Amino acid sequence: MRSYNLFCRKDLDGLVCAVPEDYAVPAFVTGARWVFGGKVDGGARRPLGFDGAAAATAVRFNGFYLFQSADTPRG
């Protein structure tokens, strides 16, 4: 599994943007509304709601993966 950086939306609890470590962070993920929420890799515990297969598909088309999580890590 690839490694992802997680960005959490400040004003919407649980909305997470996962971006592969080797990809550019999307322009809509700005410091004003988003905060770094940690990393996910093959050995790390995944946030509830993170789906590796869905992430791979979303990244292939969009370059990022948006998902809703109930236990989002906060940075």
Q: Which domain holds residue 11?
A: 4-68
Q: With 80 as the cut, is the pLDDT of residue 71 above it?
A: no
> Residue 56 falls within a domain, yes or no?
yes
Query: How many structural domains is the chain composed of?
Result: 1
Q: pTM for this structure?
A: 0.88
Residue range 19-41, pLDDT digits in tens: 999 999 999 998 899 999 999 98
Q: 3-state DSSP call for residue 63?
A: coil
As a whole number, mean pLDDT of residues 61-66 equals 97
| pLDDT recorded at residue 75 | 47
